[in-house]
Amino acid sequence: MASNTKSIDFELSSSQYAYIADGDQTGLDITGDISVEAWVNFEQKPKTVVNEFTIMSKYNNGLNQRSYNFFFDANNKLNFVYTDDGTYSGHATRAVSDVAAMDDGDLGNWVYFAATADVSAKDIKIYRNGALIDSTKDQDNATSINNGTAKFIVGAYENNTTFQSFFDGKIDEAIAWNVVRTGTEIGESYNSGDGKIYIGNESGMVAYHRFEDNALDTTSNDNDLTLVNSPSYSSDVPFVGATTTSTTTTSTSSSTSSSTTTTSTSSSTTTTSTSSSSSTTTTSTSTTSSTTTTSTSTTTTSTSTTTTSTSSSTSSSTSTTTTSTSSSTSSSTTTTSTSSSTSTSSTTTSTSSSSSTTTTSTSSSTSTSTTTTSTSTTTTTTLDPTSGGLAFGAYLETNDYREATGATSANFANPTNAITSNDSYATFTGETGNIVFTDFGDFDIPAGCTIKNIIVELEGYRTGEASIRAYLLSFSWDDGSTYAVGGTESEWTWSNVLTSDTTHEYTVGAEDFDHTFVPNDFQDGNLAIKVTTSTNETIAWFIDNIKVKVQYEVVEESVSWQTWVTTGEIIGDADWGKLAIDITENGYSKVYDYGDATERTYTLERNKYGAGQGTATLQIRGQAALFTADAGTPVWSEYTVPITESWRYIQVREIKT
């Protein structure tokens, strides 16, 4: 079977990418349903260089030949967009992840991203590591995809006759489909991080670039890419794939006495190894036949913060010996198959299988004895617990929008008109002016929470053209005495000439400010927001309303395993201990009440220390209505990444399957 040994490495500084011209491609002029996917490894964040990073595109921005584009914007948010006629305004459908789809922890690590679009229904879904992530459509117009002339590109997109938005990092296993891939299929591609290598003839697959020291298309469409500015191939890959096995057979025959011994040793460190041990002996005898079979299996079970896991390892050895004697001689054949496997992986099942068959027939006056012994041993390491069990209940909370009740300006006329959305405007005509909004009220953020994002909704419009037409938002935590600017992310653009109100919602990450915001900064009277216009020509600005809300992280105390109900065993420290469970066993928490069914993002973390192997499957469930801890519903779902749900009651468990 195929294996994965190489990826392609693009350097932003060298403007590297790979493409195929529209006239040379087959099947990439997708006009209906579409799915795209790839493994990526970032060298830096798009936000760091204030640049979009393109994964895959058929999109010429300057010549109005836009078809589809899969990219990260300068806020680290994942986007998928398509247009129906090549233009954008009024002819595009675009979904943007609600929060950054990558962060510092992803730098230098492989992450799997995918997007699917039911084009006629304008339904776009975005996935990270096999899990659906929340996204919002900011364009919702196109019900078909433009059959344009843009090049198909991995690592950039076109702008007139030049290229832009170059990817900085590695890309592997890039696939385009002309069907809507299901969530299950996306999960199979991710395969719990182990990936999946396709054949290339799967239904709906129109391009599959594996970058195995080349940019060839694995499908029969032959959409082979041309490399520009010499991107290199790297041995750093997201997964390895399958390997092969070999078999050796030895046959020994003697007219007097023969002895054959076969020893097979197998070692597994990460993935599941499955095999069986089989021994068959056929001896021609006439008098007495005696057969002894011994099978021994030893398993040492490991323990961890969450669970004890036995790694899945079964060893395979096959030995066949045939001895034929036709005289009064004694023939003895012994076959020993020994398999030893040491695993530090996070898989679960240990299996040993052996079979022995002896066939005796009469040929002459001879006595034959056959003994077969099969031994399999699986040993795993032990991981001790930390003083914390499971850190359960870290989640993101977003309060309601707050409106200002005060506004002042030295430039804008009637600044208080912008306090309420009522088509009465604070107005300014010129290049640079500002208006300060104050008195937003108390945001009711609990002490100790971490501020994650500040979300601003600005309503208004502008008239006139200018090559620079933006506004800068600055935030004060001391009622306007000092302002913090979130770098370029807080500079947002009204990119089109407008004649009536348009609402713009933008999110700025708290980590990007030159001030560390704390809950007290959002108490009544502390927050002030300054809106500054920025143009290089005189144009008119009309601001109708501004709103702001804050997204913050709530982290609850760690939950001891001692509080869990379990079919396994709680061992170790009396206060915390560790949860040890074996096959079919599980441990589950109490049902937690979060007070209401407000939409939240839930993050689960296992607390552990030291080196060792992984644990059993972590699962989560919840709903708005109360349920008991041992109820059959709601259904359990495997937890892999933070999830966003409108649950009031939630529960988690570890299960060993």
First CA to last CA across the chain, in angstroms? Answer: 27
Q: Which of 247-251, 385-389, 652-656 has the highest mean pLDDT?
A: 652-656
Looking at the predicted structure, is the pLDDT value of residue 626 above 50?
Answer: yes
pTM: 0.45
Residue 73, number of CB atoms within 10 A of its CB: 18
**Model pLDDT for residues 334-369, shown as the tens digit of each residue:** 333 333 333 333 333 333 333 333 333 333 333 333
When pLDDT is averaged across residues 435-455 and rounded to a whole number, the result is: 87
If one compares 353 and 639, the residue with the highest pLDDT of the two is 639
Position 572 confidence tier, pLDDT thresholds 50, 70, 90? low
- DSSP-derived letter for residue 186 is H
Can you say whether the dihedral through the CA atoms of 469, 474, 479, 481 is positive or negative?
negative
The closest alpha carbon to 54, from 196, 158, 143, belongs to 158
Instruction: List, in order of start, the domains of the chain with CATH numbers.
Output: 7-234 (2.60.120.200), 277-380 (no CATH), 396-554 (2.60.120.260), 559-655 (no CATH)
- Per-residue model confidence (pLDDT) at position 479: 87
pLDDT digits (tens, 9 = 90+) for 481-530: 888 875 443 444 554 445 566 777 777 777 777 788 899 999 878 999 98
Give the mean pLDDT of 318-332.
34
Mean pLDDT, residues 219-238: 96
Whether residue 559 has pLDDT greater than 50? yes
Would you state the structure tokens that stand for residue 559, as one six-digit string? 């939950």
- Residue 280, both tokens: 């068959």
Q: What is the pLDDT of residue 571?
A: 66
Q: ∠62-67-68 over CA atoms, to 5°?
A: 110
Q: Which residues lie closer than 8 Å to 246 by C-beta, 6 or more apart?
A: none
Q: What is the mean pLDDT of residues 243-247?
A: 31
Residue with the two structure tokens 């006239």: 23
What's 46's DSSP letter? H
- Residue 313 pLDDT greater than 50, yes or no: no
pLDDT of residue 377: 29
For the ranges 213-217, 441-445, 588-592, the maximum mean pLDDT occurs at 213-217
Kindly state the average pLDDT of the residues 235-249.
59
Which range is most confident: 105-109, 216-220, 320-324, 539-543?
A: 216-220
pLDDT at 416 over 90: yes
β-bridge pairing 277-285 and 354-362: parallel
Sign of torsion over alpha carbons 17, 22, 28, 32: positive
- Report angle CA 198, 166, 44 to the nearest 5 degrees: 90
**pLDDT grade for 606, boundaries at 50, 70 and 90:** low
Q: Cα separations (Å) of 647 from 588, 595, 621, 650? A: 18, 9, 9, 7
**88-137 pLDDT, tens per residue?**
888 999 999 988 899 888 999 999 999 999 999 999 999 999 999 999 99
